[in-house]
Amino acid sequence: MSGSFTEEELIAGCLQNKRRHQEFLYRKFFPKMISMCYRYTSDQDKAMIIVNDGFLKVFKKLNTYQGKGSFEGWIRRIVFNALSDYFKKENRYLKFLILEEKDKPQLSTNSDNLYYEDLLSMIDQLPYASSEVFKLYAIEGYSHKEIAQKLSISDGTSKWHLSEARKKLKELINRNLSINYAG
């Protein structure tokens, strides 16, 4: 693909429905967005459906981008919301936000009854720094190195906050399940 655009030119061209600009935007951000989706589903077909749905929403909502914050972060949020919508539609719940494959869930099967909103509410109950690291890592797909730079902390501190966030979220989930399913 020849040519390169500034972010402003890219956005302006996409808003004018110029296919070249749209293709450039898609190709530029696709690798990071598909990588984020692979964190939550290892199924290539599902990941492609989610990413393409996300980019469709990006193009439809591009006129709402106000130039505040990172453009990539704005795209990432929309694609993540497409990911969330996909799992909601498929009647799956978002405990995948918390547990990695290496984690051994000690939750009962009733944990499937947790909804996305419940999990986000629990994430908001975490200490601020742990919550921020968790959101950046698990939701937005940043690496520990990127988080460390963004929050002016060390990589090790970022990893510690993520570990603490997971631990506390598991406790909150277990507490929530024992309250809701007692008896």
69-78, 105-114, 125-134: least confidently modelled range: 105-114
CATH of domain 95-180: 1.10.10.10
Q: What is this structure's pTM?
A: 0.53
Percentage helix, strand, coil for the chain under 3-state DSSP, each rounded to 5: 75, 0, 25
Fold of 7-92: Rna Polymerase Sigma Factor; Chain: A (1.10.1740)
C-alpha pair distances (Å), 108 with each of 26, 85, 163: 40, 24, 21
Distance CA 50, CA 56 (A): 10
Domain spans of the chain?
A: 7-92, 95-180
pLDDT tens readout for residues 121-166:
788 888 989 988 888 887 766 788 889 998 999 999 999 998 998 8
